[in-house]
Amino acid sequence: EVPAMKDRYEDSFPIGAAVEPYQLEGTHGEILKRHYNSIVAENVMKPVNIQPEEGEFNFEEADKIVAFAEEHDMDLRFHTLIWHSQVPNWFFLDKEGNEMIDETDPAKRADNKELLLNRLETHIKTIVERYADEVDAWDVVNETIDPNASNDRGLRESKWYQITGTDYIKTAFETTRKYAGEDAKLFINDFNTEVEPKRTHLYNLVKDLLEQGVPIDGVGHQAHIQLDWPTIEETKESINMFAGLGLENQITELDVSLYGWPPTPAFANYEEIVESGRLYDQAERYDQLFELYRELDDKITNVTFWGIADDHTWLDDRAEDYNDGVGKDAPFVFDPDFNVKPAYWEMMGYD
Ligand code: XIL
């Protein structure tokens, strides 16, 4: 039996995995218990899953993950209280059922904003009151930055933004703090946080919010990365930038795709991947990455993979979408049969 990842990194940070509830059992469950000491829901804690209709909360699936974390003494990350994606549209309809973003009358726009922020507060309050004792880190808002936005601050022009400006972010953090308490760790989470101009947009937003007294404890770096993008140097600079604001950094959704963007051409199956030799390039990448994480371990408080083993990864959907339905990715350190890959030995720091 190979050494457990969580033991190797005991003195640095917890090692986490994103899971669907079915993965709490069987071989996935065994690997989880052996190698990981932190857990997050891949989907079941998102707004559309938790409150599909206004006032109808569905905690059944989320509860299973919370119970597993408790039973096995794992840290728990909550993902995600607020996001523009996987959010039900009822949030953004006014009392007559019209899209709030279409409203032109200033008085009605003000009413709509109030209604939306009230709904946001109710959503957060209900969840946080239920899980405050179990959750260690909250992704309060996800993906608020969009470098392609038409505003010069790079603020994502989601419905949240169009209706409330940045007040939804402020209210989300304040509400989470109110119900989760002072010890809770509140995160702003995003992807491509390593690269310009996105990281500077995020930095400026967070700095501005902190100056306004908004309770943010850390930045979540999704780290959906590729074999040679972004650079290790960019990654290091980004973590140091946010640490310079007095914030924690967590790596929240790590996966190392074998492809560039878009993921094409893609290998059709895992056999082709093995034959290509690309798993050794990936191992090299994991080596550099975890060497950096170890170097910065006083600034990084969690490293979570966006899955467990190569049998289940959201990147397969993307590989399929861009390659006429035939494509496979392999981003993790365990292969589809749960055996360790070259990447495992390198992330463990054994040469
Ligand atoms: C992804 C899940 O992995 C998929 O199963 C789902 O279909 C879509 O969402 N950034 C995030 C995650 O913050 O919530 C996303 O998860 C991946 C990108």
ipTM, two decimals: 0.99
The whole-number pLDDT of residue 264 equals: 96
Which of 252, 314, 318 is the best mutation target for the ligand 1 pocket, counting ligand atoms within 8 Å of the beta carbon and taking the most? 314
Which of 253, 255, 321, 329 is the best mutation target for the ligand 1 pocket, counting ligand atoms within 8 Å of the beta carbon and taking the most? 253
Helices (H), the chain: 5-8, 26-35, 47-50, 60-71, 106-131, 159-164, 167-180, 198-211, 232-243, 270-276, 278-295, 314-322, 342-347
**Terminal Cα distance for the chain, rounded:** 18
The whole-number pLDDT of residue 199 equals: 98
Ligand 1, pocket residues at CB < 6 Å: 42-43, 142, 222, 253, 314
List, for residues 33-81, the tens digit of each pLDDT value: 999 999 999 999 999 999 999 999 999 999 999 999 999 999 999 999 9
d(CA 250, CA 143): 15
**What are the C-alpha distances in Å from 221 to residues 64, 191, 212?**
26, 6, 23
| Cα angle 66-72-73, degrees, rounded to a multiple of 5 | 85
d(CA 184, CA 191): 22
3-state secondary structure of 265: coil
**What are the C-alpha distances in Å from 76 to residues 41, 65, 342, 347?**
9, 9, 28, 22
Active site residue 253: yes
The answer to whether the CB of 109 falls within 8 A of the CB of 151 is: no
351 confidence band (pLDDT: 50, 70, 90)? low
The whole-number pLDDT of residue 350 equals: 81
Choose the catalytic residue: 99, 253, 295, 320: 253
pTM above 0.80, yes or no: yes
Rounded average pLDDT over 252-257: 99
Residue 268 token pair: 């059709």
Residue 312 token pair: 């289940």
d(CA 214, CA 208): 9
